[in-house]
Amino acid sequence: MTNSELFIEIDGLCKSYKQIKAVDHLSFKVFEGDIYGFLGPNGAGKSTTIRMILSLITPDEGTVKLFGKDLAYNRYQTLSQIGSLIEKPDFYKYLSARENLEILGKISNVRHLKKKIDEVLELVGLFDRGNSKVKTYSQGMKQRLGIAQSILHDPKLIVLDEPANGLDPQGQKEMRELIHAINKEKGITILLSSHILNEVEMTANRMVIINKGKNVVEGHVQDLLNESDMNVSFFINDTHLAQQKIKESAWIDQLIEYDEYKLLFKLQHHQIAELNRFMVNSDFEINAIKPLRSLEDYFIKLTGDDHIN
């Protein structure tokens, strides 16, 4: 899908709570078809911004436009085209997933409700457990049911606030795959709020990073991340011999530390393949390569700030 129509346009958004400026003249744009990463550390102003986008709280300054219309004057028309999953989804635990979705569907006047419930449960991988009570669900299943709930009325846009929060690695992987499926198969644009850089890197195509309520950087994910250094561990069969070989090469300037299991380098994205080629040509057996890039490291590079709130 071509990025053309503006689905979200945030311009000069501000929100304060007494002396605390939670959102400070924030601006960014989300286009049709995006999986847009809304990235920042805890306390950066992400949740406050999302609540203003969903008209749960009112901005002190600035505007929110959804689908080209000012939210302040088109609240019902615009919000009817949006689904959301904010924090942990809340359900009637002693009812089944189907019963929970039926209640929501009737409130939202969803047509052909039974068919729609079957469709969304199938998409999120809960069709076989649709008649089970929600109290028997794992956290990952509840999160997926929350996604089903957010897309039941066929929205054009969904807003997901930390959807992988509290999930184990397998649950995080399933959530990423589900987000991609919703975007590709259903054609739904997604605003994905997270404080985990790696999650956004593997999921989103565009992103904004905010800190202390302000826009730090915005752009295409790969373009932005390729500019930043990252720590990369090379797990090889003989680290002692490899360390000696590295000392004789230009790669010594990138070597941070090593132990009996791995060599740790600070590299730019394009250098990973180059170093891998060097290792292979030096006859070392590479068992694994693990990039380690943290949100904090990226912020320090962008802002020079060594303390992230």
* Residue 194, pLDDT score: 87
Does residue 203 register a pLDDT over 50? yes
146 lies in the same domain as 271: no
DSSP assignments along 194-259, one per residue: ES-HHHHHHH-SEEEEEETTEEEEEEEHHHHHHTS-EEEEEEES-HHHHHHHHHTSGGGGTEEEE-
Q: State the Cα–Cα distance between residues 211 and 213, nearest whole angstrom.
A: 5
CATH of the domain at 260: 3.30.70
Does residue 307 register a pLDDT over 50? no
Question: Quick check: is 94 in a domain?
Answer: yes
88 lies in the same domain as 218: yes
272 lies in the same domain as 219: no
CA neighbor of 29 nearest in space, from 63, 1, 58: 63
Question: Quick check: is 303 in a domain?
Answer: no
What is the count of structural domains for the chain?
A: 2
Does residue 225 register a pLDDT over 90? no
Average pLDDT over residues 61-87: 93
Does residue 144 register a pLDDT over 50? yes
242 lies in the same domain as 263: yes
23 lies in the same domain as 168: yes
CB proximity list for 31: less than 8 A, separation 6 or greater: 3, 4, 5, 6, 7, 189, 206
Question: Quick check: is 46 in a domain?
Answer: yes
222 lies in the same domain as 244: no
Domain boundary among 226, 252, 283: 226
41 lies in the same domain as 179: yes
Domain boundary among 226, 248, 264: 226
How distant, in Å, are the alpha carbons of 44, 142, 209 from that of 165?
16, 12, 18
* Residue 306, pLDDT score: 43
* Residue 299, pLDDT score: 63
∠ CA 207-213-215, rounded to 5°:
40
Question: Quick check: is 130 in a domain?
Answer: yes
222 lies in the same domain as 239: no
Q: What are 79-127's pLDDT values in tens digits?
A: 999 999 987 778 999 999 999 999 999 998 999 999 999 999 999 999 9
Question: Quick check: is 100 in a domain?
Answer: yes
Domain that holds residue 285: 230-292
Does residue 252 register a pLDDT over 80? yes
Q: State the Cα–Cα distance between residues 163 and 271, nearest whole angstrom.
A: 32
Say if residues 13 and 27 touch (Cβ distance below 8 Å): yes
Q: State the Cα–Cα distance between residues 204 and 149, nearest whole angstrom.
A: 21
Domain boundary among 226, 246, 261: 226
Question: Quick check: is 242 in a domain?
Answer: yes
Question: Quick check: is 308 in a domain?
Answer: no
CATH of the domain at 105: 3.40.50.300
Question: Quick check: is 208 in a domain?
Answer: yes
Q: What are 155-194's pLDDT values in tens digits?
A: 999 999 988 888 888 888 899 999 999 999 999 999 999 8
Average per-residue pLDDT in the chain? 88
22 lies in the same domain as 142: yes
280 lies in the same domain as 200: no
Express the helix, strand and coil content of the chain in percent, nearest 5 each.
40, 30, 30
48 lies in the same domain as 74: yes
CA neighbor of 85 nearest in space, from 191, 14, 11: 191
Count Cβ atoms below 10 Å from residue 139 Cβ, excluding itself: 14
111 lies in the same domain as 243: no
Confidence band of 230 (pLDDT split at 50, 70, 90): confident
3-state secondary structure (DSSP) of residue 262: strand
